[in-house]
Structure 1
Amino acid sequence: MERSPRKIDAVRNTCRIIDVLRERGNAGITEISEELDFSKSAVHGHLATLQDEGLVVKEDHSYSLSLRFLDIAEQVKNGIADHEIVKDEVNNLAEETGEVVHFATEEDGRVVYLSKASGDDAVETASKIGKRMPMHSTSLGKAILAELPQARREEIIERYGLPEQTEKTITDAERLHEELAETSERGYSIDDEENILGVRCIGMAVSVPEADVLGALSISGPSRRMTDERMETELSEQIAQAANVIEVNSRYS
């Protein structure tokens, strides 16, 4: 039987301190100590080490995350696809459609937003860069799931289940598999108010031959504008063109 690797509590505690700084923006030793129930000396030691590594900055008696995280994030995003190309295509698609456009990838069985742009008619949602979302209830997630091997799909469903996000969310595994088969046949996925009531989305996977799926693009808007006809005759063509540009550039980058 495979043994679980040994976990390092000190590293876990450092991550919790980073999370506090991420959520608060900045905080002092006493605030962090009280929130996490760590001793002040332990918090100070972690922060001093993070500061020495350039991961936090100190101003007076307050600490905040440094811009080094921005450099790390850019490297991670460019490891998936050329982020400048992705950003350009997301912006162009938002301008063309007037709606909200996202690019996301799958990590650890979740959809993670990497890029977002809003057109002139966009209805804003709570999505933001770095946010993790369920795969089964989003057009992004369903587009990616439709490209994954069956075993990987089952693994994700087994781990996270199919929790209800709205009354329209698909919560039955058999029905989800049927939906993914329809997605593959159609060439694009649909979120039919399954994640947010009143909002429909079209999604399309972005992939290159002999490689894992890079991610997916989506266009989101109010259900009255995001009709089946518009998706089929207009939006599917626009999103396919954007996906192709990213795929071609990723193939030769």
Structure 2
Amino acid sequence: MAERAAGSGVQSVERVFELLERIADAGGAVTLSELAASAELPLPTIHRLLRTLVGLGYARQLPNRRYALGPKLIRLGEGANQQLGALAMPQLKSLADELGETSNMAVLDADMVVYIAQVPSRHSMRMFTEVGRRVHTHDTGVGKAILAQLPDEQVRGIVGRAGMPTPTGRSLGSTEALLADLGGIRERGYSVDEQEQELGVRCFAMAVPNAPTPAAVSVSGPISRVDEAFAERAVPLLRAAVEEISAELNR
């Protein structure tokens, strides 16, 4: 018997991905009852789907009976990140060529951000950013640009679980300070890492609108070159880049 479709899709497939997304939104681990309350699905259905996902390795049950995302999703996520990074490379190269500084793309990965693509500056300066590196959201330009797209409650959950280390004296060390900064980012449309991750380095970043996963693009360099005049040139170019990437993703 053919499976009943929901709308234009297959209902059980839609439910599986809804459960996976809700586990991710909960910080990576959730109880069966919490899923039942948020997913609005019958408990037996949720249990059946989870049992299948656990058997396939796309979910796992922890000793405390909570359900977490499974290791098989890592390979899928890495492959998707590589494709997303490759798609953005023309825009990143254009930014680096026009501005002369390093351009990056990063995505939200659980409660951290991971860099998935980079075009380095033509200047010889090594910075903390490199493809594959996972960093906190609250002290990076890309991280704050992404957080500014999320509701405050979700932001509190992310930094509450990940913590808020302060690698420099300029790093934001409290949720209240972060939320105030995010308010400014939402108003102006871009974020600034003001030597918050690395002393001597300034970064301007902007979220990719309507991305399938929260993502942002940044341009960073030494404060001697990345100044207010640089910002006047960089912000319009960043906006054009993220809009082009968004258009490519939604074709």
Asked if TM exceeds 0.5, the reply is: yes
Q: TM-score, normalised by structure 2?
A: 0.68
| Equivalent pair of 2:152/2:179 in contact (CA under 8 Å) | no
Of 156, 176, 179, the match for 1:177: 179
Aligned residue for 2:80? Answer: 76
Computed over aligned residues only, the root mean square deviation of the Cα atoms, in angstroms, reads 2.4
Q: TM-score, normalised by structure 1?
A: 0.67
| Equivalent pair of 1:93/1:238 in contact (CA under 8 Å) | yes
1:109 and 1:72 map into 2 onto residues whose CA distance is 18
Aligned residues: 186
Name the SS of the counterpart of 1:75 in structure 2: helix
1:172 and 1:72 map into 2 onto residues whose CA distance is 34
What amino acid sits opposite 1:190 in the alignment? V
2:216 and 2:120 map into 1 onto residues whose CA distance is 17
Q: Percent identity?
A: 29
Aligned residue for 1:238? Answer: 237
| Equivalent pair of 1:100/1:123 in contact (CA under 8 Å) | no
Structure 2 residue 140 is the aligned partner of structure 1 residue 141: no
2:213 and 2:209 map into 1 onto residues whose CA distance is 4
Aligned residue for 2:225? Answer: 225
Moved over 4 A (4+): 71-74
2:115 and 2:247 map into 1 onto residues whose CA distance is 21
Structure 2 residue 243 is the aligned partner of structure 1 residue 250: no
| Equivalent pair of 1:98/1:122 in contact (CA under 8 Å) | no
Of 55, 58, 61, the match for 1:5: 61
Q: Which has more radius of gyration?
A: 1
2:78 and 2:159 map into 1 onto residues whose CA distance is 30
2:135 and 2:196 map into 1 onto residues whose CA distance is 12
| Equivalent pair of 1:101/1:116 in contact (CA under 8 Å) | yes
Of 143, 151, 154, the match for 1:152: 154
Name the SS of the counterpart of 1:94 in structure 2: helix
What amino acid sits opposite 2:243 in the alignment? N
The 5 Å alignment of 1:58-73 reads: none
